[in-house]
Amino acid sequence: MFDFFPFIFSAFLVGLGLHLLLKAFAKQEPANLPHGSMGLPLVGETLGFLKPHRSNSMGSFLQQHCSRYGRVFKSHLFGSPTIVSCDHELNMLILQTEEKLFQVSYPKAMHGILGKFSMIIVSGDIHKKLRNIGASFITASKSNPEFLNCVENMTTSMMNSWKNCDQIGFCKEVKKFTLNLMVKHLLSIEPEEPLAFKILEDFLTYMKGFVSLPVYLPGTAYASAVKARARLSATVRGIIKERQKEQSRHGKGDFLDAVLSKESLSDEETVSVVLDLLLAGYETTATLTSLIVYFLALYPNVLQHLKREHDAIRENKRKGEPLNWKITRKWNSLAIRPLWMAQDKATTKKVMPFGGGPRLCPGADLAKVEIAFFLHHLVLNYRWKTMADDFPLAYPYVEFKRGLLLEIEPIQDMAGNIDLTCNI
């Protein structure tokens, strides 16, 4: 059995330890702080924290610090004094008691990347307002036939493009899929439009510097990320201005139209909520899908179990009938269950891929639908193998050493056909 918890914990530490743990120290250091090290001047211990390691381990930084100082220790990361928790129960307490015992706090350097109205940074009433706007649209989307058809059409289109390929770089492909889906759904931008490619390029640059040493010098990952975020903001602002000019025309019916019709957000808040949803729907969904595909290749018994379930789904619907929310609702979290099936119960309780408390990802159900649709067509139409030297690494967010390079082979039916039909 693989130990999935260390990967989740490492990724979780970025999302939790850097913005949901304890607030920055006061100028006079309190006497009751945990033990730890503040590292070098200016950079603190950031370089050690960012050292890549296999994502199925805590990495040498956390292992050494926990061994020396305990599972809760002080450090200096990303330009700010920080308390780091490797204690699952404490982390759960922090998530559940935000605004009561704990306050959201990101290092100041992160604000240049995220923007001051990002849902990750803001708290209190403004967080509730922005989160509710995003959540209401997402709730409606997950059962919207138009959205579900879009997910299925984009899935089958991508997999059709693989039919003559022996190898694919899966991470690159799935990131393209998730971002194209989000820009289509949020902003009505078609995948083949140059603007979709521009947004993808900026997001790739953005993510490389999202968690990096916060040094704003030309050529650094941090500086490039700040500039990429500024370009993304300018792109969304430009789309907003065009929409506002066309208010008398028939709306596109996408997320941006829904937000503009409410007139409850400033332009800057609207830009932030759009970018937050693009980021969440793009990076996290793509990463989780990549991990599922990677681990399914390692556990063929789990893959066969999943394939039997999807075979039953295919047999119980009419030929050409699209997947829908009524069907997927019966799958019992089929999107991420492959991970649960390949680990023990004690580990499962510690896995929180969508966070918790007030910071529970509002798009979790939407992500599960997207992943479930994608897996449905993948397991029924392709076999795949991973490379021995390709595995997930924590940077501390997750990447694959070779971009999850897969050897793929189409699965053909008795007549030699590949079943990639959908309601196009």
**What is the per-residue pLDDT for 121?**
82
What tokens were used for 138?
Answer: 């997402």
The β-bridge partners of 73 are 84
Q: Which two structure tokens, joined as six digits, stand for 417?
A: 């056909």
High-pLDDT (> 70) share of the chain, %: 80
What's the rounded Cα separation, in Å, for the pair 13 and 19?
A: 9
- Sign of the C-alpha dihedral, residues 371, 374, 375, 376? positive
* Tokens read off for 367: 């992500």
C-alpha distances out from residue 271 to 114, 199, 232, 349, Å: 11, 14, 9, 36
Higher pLDDT, 350 or 390: 390
Cα 172 versus chain centre, distance = 14
> Would you give the distance in Å from CA 85 to the centre of its chain?
22
pLDDT of residue 422: 47
Which of 44-48, 147-151, 301-305 is the most confident on average?
A: 44-48
Which of 106-110, 216-220, 384-388 is modeled with the greatest confidence?
384-388
Which of 5-14, 109-118, 156-165, 312-321 has the largest mean confidence? 156-165
Could you give the maximum distance between any two Cα atoms of the chain, in Å? 75
Q: Which residues are CB-contacts of 167 (< 8 A; sequence separation ≥ 6)?
A: 405, 406, 407, 408
Helix 255-262 to helix 221-245 angle, to the nearest 10 degrees?
70
Q: Within 246-284, where are the H helices?
A: 255-262, 267-279
Tens of pLDDT, residues 100-155: 888 777 778 788 788 888 888 888 888 888 888 878 877 777 778 888 889 989 99
Predicted pLDDT at 394: 87
Sign of the alpha-carbon dihedral angle for 133, 139, 145, 147: positive
- As a whole number, mean pLDDT of residues 29-52 equals 88
Query: DSSP assignment, residue 7?
Result: H
What pLDDT score was predicted for residue 423? 39
> What is the per-residue pLDDT for 420?
58
Q: Is residue 24 predicted with pLDDT exceeding 60?
A: no
Give the integer Cα–Cα distance in Å for 344 and 67: 25
Which among 85, 73, 89 has a CA at the least distance from the CA of 39?
73
The mean of the pLDDT values for the chain is 80
Q: How far is the C-alpha of 156 from the C-alpha of 373, rounded, in Å?
A: 10
Segment 288-309 shows an average pLDDT of: 89
